[in-house]
Amino acid sequence: MMTNMWQRPVSLFGCLLLLGITGTAQAYKPDIVSSTPRGMQRGTTQTVVITGSRLSDSRQIIVDREGINVKSVKPVSASKVEVEFEVPADSAPGLYPIRLVSETGLSNVMMFSVGVLPNVEEKEPNSEFATPQVIEKNVTVEGAVAREDEDYYAVELKAGESLTAELEGVRIKKGRSNPFFDPYVAILNSERFEMATSDDAPLLQQDCLCSMRAPADGKYIIVVRDSSFGGNNDRYRLHVGSFPRPIAVVPAGGPPGALIDMTFVSAMGDAWIEKVQLPSQAQDAFPLVVANDQGVSPSPNFIRVQEMPNVVEQEPNNSFKESTVGALPGAFCGFVGEPGDADFFSFEAKKNETVSIKLFARKILRSELDGVINVYNAAGSRVGGNDDSGGPDSRLDYKIPADGVYHVSVNDHLRNGGPGYAYRLEVQLVQPDLVLTLPDRQRYVATQINVPQGNNAAVMINATRQRLGGAIDITGLNLPEGVTITPIQMPANRTTVPLLLSATSEAKLDGRLVNFVGKITDNPTVGRYTQRHQLLIGQNNSVVYDYNADRAAVSVIKASPCSFEIVQPQVPIVRNGSMELVVKVERGGFEGAIPVRMLYNPPGIGSTASVTIPQGKNEAKISVTANSSAAIGEWPVIVYAVVGGNEIATMPATLTIEDRLFAFEFPKTSAELNADADVLVDVEVLRDFEGTCELELVGLPAGVVCEQSKVAVTKDTEQLSFSVKVGEKARVGQHKTLVVRATVSNDKGIIKQTQGTGTLQVDKPIPAPVTKPKPVPAKPTAKPAAKPPAPVKKKPLSRLEQLRLMRQGKTEAPE
């Protein structure tokens, strides 16, 4: 049985080396930084220039969602690729994650914008209020902000016409930037009074959105700048028009396939109702695009499509006595409509049921609400609550203490409220859940899978279970042609296992989006996959903008000349033991040194972090050790190497971990300098072993040597004695360093077990007693003659005494 000992400390050096190896491989992969233009209008075909590095062998573009067709990919140089995009007229507006595929691997993810309105280029000079660039209403402006730059655009409006300005800046930027572009947008009238402003609209994360209705005919000015007057030629797309732009929607979701009346609220506070047809499949974050006779919103509102009925708040519901009545399961939806508002809902539950209460506001809906949830019993006493356990939102699992009616409330953390404070509160009995992820191997860099033709690639895959047990079988859907997965089952007590992919030598160079699926034995629950891409990193390495993908990118890359294998160990490693894994390479003409390392260490196992197959050599040995708690069982181990920037994995070998063969006890040993002593070791043979066994005493302090190199052991051995010689220069004191190393040899290999620690006390020799001679009686001596009395020293007179004597005429005044 495997013990659950996976979590173990990792040395800083090991982490740095891992980052070094993966960083070296990453440095050979394509990296995309920007594009010109940063977006395009749907219903058009356009050549887009993508810039970056290591792009000369680019051959493919992967788009994470439907809506962009890639007609051609033409590398121009190592830093430039021309791509022809075709965007159908019915494509949804918004941001599309794209990545480039080359012969050496996958690039990072970058966002590309698809809009409804025609593109207009910024034309300088437009940095003064008095000389703005004149634009038509309902266009998208592609511009850039330089340092301390302000871009002004003028639009003519009639009284009563609405104007909305929505900007994409942070969301289309990539990389690490400190400070990063933090855009600000304002709409001014002709007298330069602000009609509307925006900095960090919650709906758009740190991008901007502002709306206004013209009070009179005339010219209105839109200004774009960095909020702190920074800027570094930062690109943006500014959507300007009278299109609908809801900032909130209620109910924020519904059951799959349902036709629902939804209330939309704009930034100006206008509200309207439209019927919305939901997709037939459940989605955690469905992009809902609003279209009506005023136009189409430039970007979607995200809602939840889940199999539970909606319960929309019915005012008044500001206390538990006025709760809107719901049932389990249910999605309780509404607005925290004004400052100080709190919305209450009620439901019935039975004793010992555990109810899951999840609030969706900031995280998916992009609501302004910083939500707090509280649970009350039928008498109105608070019995539970939460603030921000679900990240920016709140969540709570509450065990029902007794049958009855319970109430749940929603309010803002700062007691704020308004039309943008929408929420969806999903309340149901706790459900089993399984989520698969690929952990990052390099900070801020999402893990990618690049499989060389005729070779293997390996990564670790994690599983997060909730109320689920059992082993997990992992498969991949939509793998590139010629790529297969070697099945490695994740045991019930494990949260991570290796994922090994192999490509045939005939596999086509291709990239696909693969859905990794986890299925638990004898359980209908199917695990979903998610991967976080951190697109923009700001001050203090904080993530400013990210994207969660529901599929992993897998590509087949050009073949490597090398292939590797682990020589399968024929003997186990035992607790407190060690062994050497032999890694062999078929170089195929490659002559350089090759770094290799373990993909992961089983629980309780340590391995050498820095191993290199030297130039001209065909193998290396990785030292492996097992601690006293190493997880007993058979473990698949994989070694990977980096050749020419490509990571190549071995097929898995089985590392068998067994319990100790021996237990040793060390009675304390004392010895003097320049003397001999016997170190006794009590031996307990815990299990039968094949072959011969010898014990060696190591860890002796400097100046102490063991005269016996090794001592044989049999199954009947109970005690051994090692003769040691203590030199005259040995350090005096207590040495707790003695260790016994057992070596079992048979025709299959060598098993080593090391155990300590014994104590050797080194003392100085006790000095021989010294006989003292009897004392000789002393001869009588004559008394010395008395010394004459010492002359009395004349005491010097003080000045006062001298003056007194002068007055009496007894002495003369001093000179």
Burial (0-12, 13-18, 19+ Cβ within 10 Å), 661: buried
Task: Answer whether residue 814 is part of any domain.
Answer: no
* Chain position carrying tokens 């102490």: 704
Radius of gyration of the chain (CA): 40
In CATH, what number is assigned to the domain containing residue 756?
2.60.40.10
State yes or no: pLDDT of 458 exceeds 70: yes
Alpha carbon distance 714, 701 (integer Å): 28
Task: Answer whether residue 784 is part of any domain.
Answer: no
Give tens-digit pLDDT for 89-122: 999 999 999 999 999 999 999 999 999 999 999 9
Q: Considering the chain, what is the average pLDDT of its residues?
A: 91
On whether both 104 and 177 belong to a single domain, the answer is no
**What integer pLDDT is reported at residue 22 of this predicted model?**
53
Give tens-digit pLDDT for 238-257: 999 999 999 999 999 999 99
CA atoms within 13 A on the CB side of 225: 18
Phi, then psi, of 13 in degrees rounded to 5: -65, -40
Task: Answer whether residue 815 is part of any domain.
Answer: no
Q: Please choose, from the candidates 198, 642, 617, 612, the residue with its C-alpha nearest in 3D space to the C-alpha of residue 420.
A: 198
Contacts of 789 (CB under 8 A, 6+ apart): none
User: Cα dihedral sign for 21, 24, 25, 31?
Assistant: positive
Task: Answer whether residue 15 is part of any domain.
Answer: no
State yes or no: pLDDT of 608 exceeds 80: yes
Task: Answer whether residue 586 is part of any domain.
Answer: yes
Percent of the chain exceeding pLDDT 70 equals 91
**Domain end position, chosen among 623, 641, 658:** 658
Residue 760 CB neighbours (<10 A): 24
The mean pLDDT value for 410-420 works out to 96
**What integer pLDDT is reported at residue 784 of this predicted model?**
65
Burial (0-12, 13-18, 19+ Cβ within 10 Å), 728: exposed
Q: Please choose, from the candidates 492, 450, 501, the residue with its C-alpha nearest in 3D space to the C-alpha of residue 473.
A: 492
Report in angstroms the alpha-carbon separations of 532 from 129, 391, 543, 602: 41, 14, 11, 26
Q: What is the DSSP string of 421-441?
A: -EEEEEEEE---EEEEE---S
Residue count of the chain: 815
633: left (phi over 0), alpha (psi -120 to 50) or beta: left
Give the total number of structural domains in the chain: 7
State yes or no: pLDDT of 149 exceeds 80: yes
Task: Answer whether residue 811 is part of any domain.
Answer: no
Give tens-digit pLDDT for 549-562: 999 999 999 999 99
State yes or no: pLDDT of 792 exceeds 80: no
**What integer pLDDT is reported at residue 5 of this predicted model?**
32
Alpha carbon distance 300, 291 (integer Å): 10
Give tens-digit pLDDT for 283-296: 999 999 999 999 99
In CATH, what number is assigned to the domain containing residue 373?
2.60.120.380
Alpha carbon distance 598, 649 (integer Å): 10
92, 97, 100, 101: CA torsion to nearest 10 = -90
**What integer pLDDT is reported at residue 814 of this predicted model?**
46
Task: Answer whether residue 140 is part of any domain.
Answer: yes
On whether both 623 and 633 belong to a single domain, the answer is yes
**What integer pLDDT is reported at residue 6 of this predicted model?**
36
**What confidence tier does 780 reach under pLDDT thresholds 50, 70, 90?**
low
**What integer pLDDT is reported at residue 12 of this predicted model?**
42
On whether both 407 and 438 belong to a single domain, the answer is no
Burial (0-12, 13-18, 19+ Cβ within 10 Å), 578: middle
The mean pLDDT value for 190-207 works out to 95
Contacts of 82 (CB under 8 A, 6+ apart): 47, 48, 49, 50, 72, 73, 74, 75, 76
On whether both 136 and 236 belong to a single domain, the answer is yes
For residue 378, what are its two tokens?
Answer: 């039928």
Give tens-digit pLDDT for 425-449: 999 999 999 999 999 988 889 999 9
State yes or no: pLDDT of 144 exceeds 60: yes
809, 810, 814, 815: CA torsion to nearest 10 = 60
Residue 684 CB neighbours (<10 A): 12
> What residue spans of 53-137 are helical by DSSP H?
none
On whether both 456 and 548 belong to a single domain, the answer is yes
**What integer pLDDT is reported at residue 388 of this predicted model?**
83
On whether both 549 and 461 belong to a single domain, the answer is yes
On whether both 414 and 328 belong to a single domain, the answer is yes
* Chain position carrying tokens 């491989």: 25
**What confidence tier does 490 reach under pLDDT thresholds 50, 70, 90?**
very high
292: left (phi over 0), alpha (psi -120 to 50) or beta: beta
Q: Is-contact 655 638, C-beta < 8 A?
A: no
pTM assigned to the model: 0.86
DSSP state of 771: P
Q: Is-contact 529 552, C-beta < 8 A?
A: yes
**What integer pLDDT is reported at residue 542 of this predicted model?**
85
| Domain boundaries, position 629 | 560-658
**What integer pLDDT is reported at residue 4 of this predicted model?**
34
**What integer pLDDT is reported at residue 744 of this predicted model?**
96
Alpha carbon distance 383, 373 (integer Å): 11
**Domain end position, chosen among 381, 408, 432:** 432
For residue 661, what are its two tokens?
Answer: 């063969």
**What integer pLDDT is reported at residue 19 of this predicted model?**
45
Alpha carbon distance 446, 437 (integer Å): 11
State yes or no: pLDDT of 778 exceeds 90: no
**What integer pLDDT is reported at residue 709 of this predicted model?**
78
On whether both 216 and 123 belong to a single domain, the answer is yes
**Domain end position, chosen among 432, 461, 494:** 432
Residue type, 516: F
Contacts of 468 (CB under 8 A, 6+ apart): 432, 433, 434, 520, 523, 525
CA atoms within 13 A on the CB side of 352: 0
On whether both 315 and 424 belong to a single domain, the answer is yes
State yes or no: pLDDT of 28 exceeds 90: no
Q: What is the DSSP string of 517-579?
A: EEEETT---EEEE-EEEEEEE-GGG-EEEEEEESSEEEEEEPPPS-EEEEPPPSS-EETTEEE
For residue 552, what are its two tokens?
Answer: 């992993």
DSSP state of 322: G
The CB-based long-range contact list for 493-497 (8 Å cut-off, 24+ gap) reads: 493/2, 493/3, 493/4, 494/2, 494/4, 494/6, 495/6, 495/462, 495/463, 495/464, 495/465, 496/6, 496/439, 496/460, 496/461, 496/462, 496/463, 496/600, 497/460, 497/461, 497/636
Alpha carbon distance 712, 693 (integer Å): 6
**What confidence tier does 515 reach under pLDDT thresholds 50, 70, 90?**
very high
Give the burial string for 433-471 (b: 16+ CB within 10 Å, else e): ebebbbeebeebbbbbbbbbbebbbbbbbebebeebebe
Task: Answer whether residue 729 is part of any domain.
Answer: yes
Contacts of 815 (CB under 8 A, 6+ apart): none
On whether both 459 and 534 belong to a single domain, the answer is yes
Q: Please choose, from the candidates 297, 288, 290, 240, the residue with its C-alpha nearest in 3D space to the C-alpha of residue 118.
A: 240
Give tens-digit pLDDT for 612-637: 999 999 999 999 999 999 999 999 99
Angle 764-766-771 (CA atoms, 0-180°, nearest 5)?
145
712 membership: H or E segment, kind and range: strand 711-713
**What confidence tier does 11 reach under pLDDT thresholds 50, 70, 90?**
very low
* Chain position carrying tokens 């020419």: 644
Q: Please choose, from the candidates 582, 580, 557, 549, the residue with its C-alpha nearest in 3D space to the C-alpha of residue 501.
A: 557
Give tens-digit pLDDT for 213-241: 999 999 999 999 999 998 889 999 999 99
On whether both 585 and 528 belong to a single domain, the answer is no
**What confidence tier does 797 reach under pLDDT thresholds 50, 70, 90?**
low
**What confidence tier does 779 reach under pLDDT thresholds 50, 70, 90?**
low
Give tens-digit pLDDT for 643-666: 988 999 999 999 999 999 999 999
Alpha carbon distance 42, 63 (integer Å): 15
Alpha carbon distance 449, 512 (integer Å): 10
On whether both 327 and 413 belong to a single domain, the answer is yes
State yes or no: pLDDT of 156 exceeds 90: yes
Burial (0-12, 13-18, 19+ Cβ within 10 Å), 160: exposed
**What integer pLDDT is reported at residue 802 of this predicted model?**
60
Longest CA span, the chain: 139
